[in-house]
Amino acid sequence: MRPEDLQLLTTPGTVAVSGDLVLVSITTPDLDENTYRGGLHRVFPDGTTTPWTHGDRDNAQRISPDGKLVAFLRVSGKSKPQLYVVPVDGGEPRRLTDLPLGAGAPVWSPDSSRIAFVARVPEEGRYGTTDDGPEAEAPRRITRLDYRVDDVGFLLDRRPRVHVVDLEGSVTAVTDGSHDVSDPAWLDDSTLVFVAPRDLGAVETLHSDLYTVPAAGGTASLLVQAAGEASMPFVANGSLFWLGTEFTGIDAVARNQGLWKASVDGSGAVRLTDVETVDVERLSGQPVADADGVLLVVRNRGALELRRIPFDGGQGEVLAGSSAAVRSFATDGSTVVAVVSTPDSPGQVEFVGTGVRTAFSSVPARQVVELSGSASDGYPVHGWLVLPEGEGPHPVVMAVHGGPFMYHSWGFFDEAQVYATAGYAVVLPNPRGSAGYGQAHGQAVIGKFGSVDVDDVLSLLDVALERDDLDSERVGVMGGSYGGFMTSWLSAHHGERFRAAWSERAVNAWDSFGGSSDIGYFFADAYCGTDPEAQRAMSPLTYAEKINIPFAVVHSEHDWRCPLEQAQRMFVALKRRGVETEMLLFPGEGHELTRTGQPRHRRQRFDAVLEWWGRHLKA
C-alpha cells in the first residue's frame, strides 16, 4: 500500500439485518475532493453486493422492528448529518430532521412508529444560529473542568438532548439540556432509558448512571446507579442490560468493560462477565441479543472476538474474530452478520457460521507475523511484525500504539502496510498498559510509566531483531499519543538503540497536560499520581537533554487531547540544544488525524513519514 492508495480503501462500517435484507455502510477517502464518500450497500447471502443508497455519506442504518423501514444518517456535502427513512423495498429516502448541529444514530421504538436519537442544541447566537461568524460570538463563561472535548469542541453551550421524531418528521426534545445524555434505548413504547453523569452532572464526575424519561418528554428519573461508568443500555429477554466498569473517585483508567444485567425496574444489578479476563470493545457497536444470549465483541490478545454471552453470564462462545477484528455486527433470527477486518483486509461482511464473506476493494497487503517472547522480568510480551518484500536485511520501524489502554490488533492497519510497502519491517508491540490482556496487564503501568512498558517494547523489538532479514543497525521508533510519549521516553533513555524518532501528538509533560488537555484534570493524576515530582519523573520533557538522535515532533493544531503545547515545549527544548529536530503541524486537525483526518492530510502525513525514514534509515 502506497500513500496514494488511501483512496482505494473501501472500509465497511455499521451493518444491519432483517430477514434476508443485510445492509452495510461503506466509506472511501476521496483525495481529489478531500472528503469521505460512501453509501449503504445490500449484501446477498451468496456474498454479492449492490449499492442500495446513493448519498454522499450514508451510515448508522437501522431497520425498523416490523421490517418495513430503514432509518439512517445522511451527510450531504459539508452539511451536518440528518435522519432519513426509506422503505425496505426501495424508493426515495425522506428526511425527518433538519437540526443545526445534526442528529445522532437512530434507535427505533418497539412499535416502529418513532425514532429516538441524541442531538446537540446550540445556545442562541452560537454555532451558526445567527448570520455573524464565530468570531462575533459572546465570550464563554466557564465554571467547570469538563467544558470541552477533542474533535467536538466546547460542550456547555451546546448540550446534547434526547429527541424523539415520528415518521412525519415531528421532533420532540424529551430531555431539557441541563445535563449530558447519551445512548438512548427504549424500555417500552412509552419510556426511554439513557446514560447521564452521576446526579445528572451536578458536579464534574467520571461516573455515569442509567436514567429514564417519558418518550413524550418529562422529568428524568434514576433507574440504575452504576458501579463506575455505564453505557449502551438495551432490553432483551425481559431484562435490562448495559456495559459498565467498576471504580471509585478518578480511578477510571484501564478498567475492563463488562456486561451487566438488572430487572427492568433497575433492581438486582449484577455483572455477567469476569472483571479480569473479559473486556468488551464498545467501538465495535451496541450489544444485541438473540434467542441464546447477548452478542458483543471482546478484546483478547489483539483479536476482537464476537462472542455470545449466556443470559446468566460467563466467558461466552466465540462466533467470529479469532485472529481477526470484528468491527461491527448484527443479528436477526438465526442470521448473524459481522464486519471482520483481517491483516490483509480493512473489512469483509461475514455471514457467521456459513463461510460466506464479502470483500470490498482493497490493496495488496504485506505479510503479518505474530511475535511472542519474554521481558527481562520473565513477563510474556506479544505483538506483530509486518514484513516488506525481499530478503533483507530490512530497516526496522517500531510503532507504539496510543492509549495506553488500547492495542495493536489482528485487524488491517493502514500505517504499518504503508511503511512495509516502502521497505520497512514494522514492529507492533502491546506492552503492559495495553488492553485485551487482562485488567491487571492494563493497570500495570499506573504510577510506573517508563518502567515495565519500556521493558516490554524493547523486549519485543529484540525478539524481532533475532531474525536474519532485519537490520539491527537501522532501527527507528515512532508512535502517537501514548505512543508519542513512549517515543520521546525511549529517545531519551535508550537513544543508542535508534537512528531517529517520530513523536506524534505526544504527552511530553504531565504538569502542563493536567491543565491544557480536555481530560487532563483527571487523567494525569489517575495514571501518575498527584505528586508533582512523580509526574515530572514520568515526563519525557524532564529528560530532553538526553535526546541526541534526529527527532520529528508532529502534531495537529486543534488537538485538545494532547494539546499543541506538548509538541512546542519538546521542539523548543531540543532545538535550543542543537538537536536535529523539526516540527510538522497539521492545520484544522484534532487528535484523530491518522484515523479520521482530512484525506489529503493523511496522505501528506504518509509522505512526510516516508521522507523522514528514507532520510535516516535508508541512507
What DSSP line would sit under 556-588, residue for residue? Answer: ETT-TTTTHHHHHHHHHHHHHHT--EEEEEETT
- To the nearest whole number, what is the mean pLDDT of the chain? 97
Strand partners, 57: 38, 75
What is residue 456's predicted lDDT score, i.e. its pLDDT? 98
Q: Please report which confidence band the pLDDT of residue 619 belongs to, taking 50, 70 and 90 as the band edges.
A: low
> Model confidence over 77-114: pLDDT tens digits?
989 999 999 999 989 999 999 999 999 999 999 999 99
**Cis amide linkage into residue 393, ω under 30° from 0:** yes
Q: Please report which confidence band the pLDDT of residue 135 belongs to, taking 50, 70 and 90 as the band edges.
A: confident
Tell me the pairing of strands 182-188 and 191-197.
antiparallel
Determine what percent of the chain is predicted with pLDDT higher than 90: 97
Instruction: Give strand ranges (E) for 245-393.
Output: 258-262, 270-271, 288-290, 293-300, 303-309, 317-320, 325-332, 335-342, 345-351, 356-359, 368-374, 380-386
**CA separation (Å) from 357 to 9, 20, 48, 203, 360?**
17, 15, 9, 48, 10
- The number of angstroms, rounded, from the C-alpha of 366 to the middle of its chain's C-alpha atoms is 24
What is residue 309's predicted lDDT score, i.e. its pLDDT? 98
- Calpha distance 421→255 (Å, rounded): 36
Strand partners, 47: none
Q: Please report which confidence band the pLDDT of residue 203 belongs to, taking 50, 70 and 90 as the band edges.
A: very high
> Model confidence over 348-399: pLDDT tens digits?
999 999 999 998 888 999 999 999 999 999 999 999 999 999 999 999 999 9
> Model confidence over 425-446: pLDDT tens digits?
999 999 999 999 999 999 999 9
Query: Which three cell numbers, joined as nine digits, stand for 522?
Result: 483527571
Short-list 377, 351, 476, CA closest to 431: 377
What is residue 126's predicted lDDT score, i.e. its pLDDT? 93
**Cis amide linkage into residue 404, ω under 30° from 0:** yes
What is residue 86's predicted lDDT score, i.e. its pLDDT? 98
What is residue 359's predicted lDDT score, i.e. its pLDDT? 80
CB 575 within 8 A of CB 605: no
- Calpha distance 46→44 (Å, rounded): 5
- Calpha distance 57→79 (Å, rounded): 11
Strand partners, 584: 554
pTM attached to this predicted model: 0.97
Determine what percent of the chain is predicted with pLDDT higher than 70: 100
Q: Is the pLDDT of residue 130 over 90?
A: no
- The number of angstroms, rounded, from the C-alpha of 284 to the middle of its chain's C-alpha atoms is 9
Short-list 437, 474, 465, 464, CA closest to 453: 437
Sheet holding 239-244, edge to edge: 230-236, 239-244, 258-262, 270-271
> Model confidence over 553-571: pLDDT tens digits?
999 999 999 999 999 999 9
What is residue 90's predicted lDDT score, i.e. its pLDDT? 85
Residue whose entry in the numeric block shows the C-alpha cell 534509515? 617
Single-letter residue type at 587: P
In the 8-state DSSP scheme, what is residue 4? Answer: G
- Calpha distance 113→68 (Å, rounded): 11
DSSP one-letter string for 230-283: EEEEEEETTEEEEEE----TT--TT---EEEEE-TTS-S-EE-S-TTT--B-GG
Strand partners, 374: 380
Query: Which three cell numbers, joined as nine digits, stand for 505?
Result: 501528538
> Model confidence over 155-178: pLDDT tens digits?
999 999 999 999 999 999 999 999
Residue whose entry in the numeric block shows the C-alpha cell 430477514? 19
Q: Is the pLDDT of residue 525 over 90?
A: yes
Query: Which three cell numbers, joined as nine digits, stand for 463?
Result: 525478539
Per-residue pLDDT, averaged over 600-614, amounts to 98
Q: Which residues contact 578 (CB under 8 A, 6 or more apart)?
A: none
Per-residue pLDDT, averaged over 239-260, amounts to 98
> Model confidence over 527-552: pLDDT tens digits?
999 999 999 999 999 999 999 999 99
Per-residue pLDDT, averaged over 257-268, amounts to 98
What is residue 128's predicted lDDT score, i.e. its pLDDT? 87
> Model confidence over 452-485: pLDDT tens digits?
999 999 999 999 999 999 999 999 999 999 999 9
Helices (H) and strands (E) in the chain, counts: 10, 39
Strand partners, 341: 325
